[in-house]
Amino acid sequence: MLNTLVDEDGFIRKLRVSARVKDRTYYSLSVMAVSAYLGKEPSAVASDLRMVIDTRFRRYMDFEDRYFYIDYKVRQHQRDSAVPVVSFYDVLHDMERVKAGRGADLFKDSIVLVYPAAEVGHDIHLTPLGKMPGGFVHINGIINILSGGTVDSPGYIPVVLLCVAAAALSFAVRTDNVQKSILIFTAVIGFNIFVPLVLWKFHIKADFVQVIVFSFVFFASAGIYRVADFLARLSAIKDRATVDPLRGVYTLRYFRYRIELEARRRRLQAIMVHLRDFRAHTDDMPIDRLKEIWSRIHGLLSNVNSFWAIYSPEEAVGFSAQRRERLEVVLVSLQERLTRLLREMGLGVEVKICAAEYTRNSNPFDSLAALARQARSLAANVLMSSDIPPPGEKPDAGQPSMAQPQILDSLAEDIEEKNRQLLSLYEKLKDEHDKTKEAFYQIITSLVNALEARDPYTQGHSLRVAEYALLVADKLGWPPDQKEKLRKASLLHDLGKIGIPDAILHKKGQLTDEEFGFIKQHEIFGVNILKPLKEIEDILPWILYHHEKWDGTGYPHGLGGDAIPIASQIIALADVYDALTTGRDYKKSLNRQEAVDIIVKGKGTHFSPQLVDLFVSVI
């Protein structure tokens, strides 16, 4: 038992847990216990444990640190207790006397509890098992005693390596998922407790302090990584949201946020650069050229030590913390260089620059509007104006005050603005697309008209073929885009006849083999004519194969059965039906039933049997 000092009423209220030995060094209770148990000098144990309270550090340590406070009453133990009570210091310094007085076998086969030699009155703690009596003991001290040895200190290098590994591990398992985080947290805690236990089993002792350091580094580095990652992402989002993509300078809303922020710290001069008639010169300019011009303008602006944003398509606005006199010189030079640059690029644009001290208390939008008005009506090239807004231009009371701008609000507004711009761009593109589509229909109509103008007997043939083909497609349940393609293919299926000489096309009576060979080329002519139109390249095979037959005796390639695109098969049916019912040249026209009979005869030879049934059911 440990000798302790008692208060006047016989209770112990504080307990010394370090002991001083002859070299005036203080050792913890754990060191003293291990040293007594192993029969080693405390200094030898302490050099491994690093638990020594070194005299060199004493001046940095609060004397009170060496005391362990107990806030309950402990009554000094009765001498006649059944439990033998021996002074810890007697054991340490005069074991022989203890043995003589209490018997040589006092500690033989005994568990020795080192504890205050007093009765514990209220040593109750809340534990997972309920309220239990007990005390706190240094955990490494307990390990030392239980394992019969001392913890080897691995030195600094393994600890540093362990920390690096912890940081790498936390990076590898980083996640934004809460459930996963909880799982990883539990796993790491479990791992940290489990590994030392396993190591002790193999008589390798790990230091719990290092385990705690490992855990701490693991979670701290994961936290630091997340914060750094968040900030990097925020910065990327900020740049994306706040930079005008065309001009490469900041947006006005972000500018407003920045100028208000900066104006709290120092005096600022607001600068308005007006490029007179810039729009008139650049409105019809290709976007790449405009981007290049703005990139060069931006290059000159950024030479001036200031922060720039776009105010309008003809104005850039900036602020600078330079003194007025110095700024004036800089702005005169900027005006000259900008004028020269724009002239070199072939733009007759006048450059006017107006600057004035920015007054924090005014509404920033009103101030900048006033400055822009001044710049627009400026006769001189550069003007250092009085404070803005000028006399008579009171801030608009209706505008909300921006006394406390928030970056997130500013970002949200910028993103909204960009969304609006994107929507309007999308509408424009849609308009363009509709116009292109319209022009394309006109091309098809013109081609069909050109074809039919050559052969009055085929007037309306293409339109009717399209009509019949769509009846079949409807029955087959084709989606609208497929039907639209079929309509185009039907309209254009005979376009190649444009390339066939009149003598053959309009010949009455039997064609020679050579002439028929020419006619057979019309699908290929058609495809060659239409090839440059990328919009319809996927319907070219439908046109090419509209004279193929189910039994493989058709042309141009002699395809048969399902090798013929189904759209071509549909067009073939519609084509033949219309030819039969309208009559061509020397043939008389047939009625529906007569035509259907002929088509049904072609079932399985000229046409697909299923498609014939379908066609007959819709026609």
Peptide bond into 389 cis (omega under 30): yes
Residues β-bridged to residue 12: 74
Region from 370-378, 488-496, 513-521, 535-543 binding Fe ion, contact rule CB under 5 A: 488-496
- Residue 259 or residue 505: which is nearer to Fe ion going by CB? 505
Closest separation between CB of residue 604 and Fe ion, Å?
21
Closest separation between CB of residue 432 and Fe ion, Å?
35
207 binds Fe ion (CB under 5 A): no
Closest separation between CB of residue 571 and Fe ion, Å?
8
Q: How many CB atoms lie within 10 A of CB 202?
A: 7
Closest separation between CB of residue 498 and Fe ion, Å?
12
For the residues of 195-251, what is the DSSP string, one character each?
HHHHHHHTT-PPPHHHHHHHHHHHHHHHHHHHHHHHHHHHHHHHHHHHB-TTT-SB-
- Residue 256 or residue 493: which is nearer to Fe ion going by CB? 493
Evaluated on CA atoms 248, 251, 254, 256, the torsion sign reads: positive
Residue labelled with tokens 């107990």: 70
Region from 32-40, 378-386, 489-497, 606-614 binding Fe ion, contact rule CB under 5 A: 489-497
Rounded Cα–Cα distance for residues 516 and 507 (Å): 11
244 binds Fe ion (CB under 5 A): no
- Residue 494 or residue 548: which is nearer to Fe ion going by CB? 494
Paired tokens of 21: 């030995």
8 A C-beta contact, residue 313 and residue 254 = no
Closest separation between CB of residue 575 and Fe ion, Å?
6
Residues β-bridged to residue 325: none
- Residue 244 or residue 578: which is nearer to Fe ion going by CB? 578
- Residue 374 or residue 568: which is nearer to Fe ion going by CB? 568
Region from 26-34, 440-448, 494-502, 537-545 binding Fe ion, contact rule CB under 5 A: 494-502
494 binds Fe ion (CB under 5 A): yes
Closest separation between CB of residue 293 and Fe ion, Å?
55
Closest separation between CB of residue 579 and Fe ion, Å?
9
Q: Which of residues 299-358 bind Fe ion (CB under 5 A)?
A: none
Q: Are strands 269-276 and 350-357 parallel, antiparallel or unpaired?
A: antiparallel
Cα 510 to the center of its chain, rounded Å: 72
Nearest 10 degrees: Cα torsion 77, 83, 89, 91: 170
- Residue 247 or residue 549: which is nearer to Fe ion going by CB? 549
Evaluated on CA atoms 533, 536, 540, 541, the torsion sign reads: positive
Q: Which of residues 69-98 bind Fe ion (CB under 5 A)?
A: none
- Residue 494 or residue 578: which is nearer to Fe ion going by CB? 494
- Residue 519 or residue 600: which is nearer to Fe ion going by CB? 519
8 A C-beta contact, residue 565 and residue 482 = no
Closest separation between CB of residue 427 and Fe ion, Å?
42
Query: Which residues contact Fe ion by CB under 5 A?
Result: 494
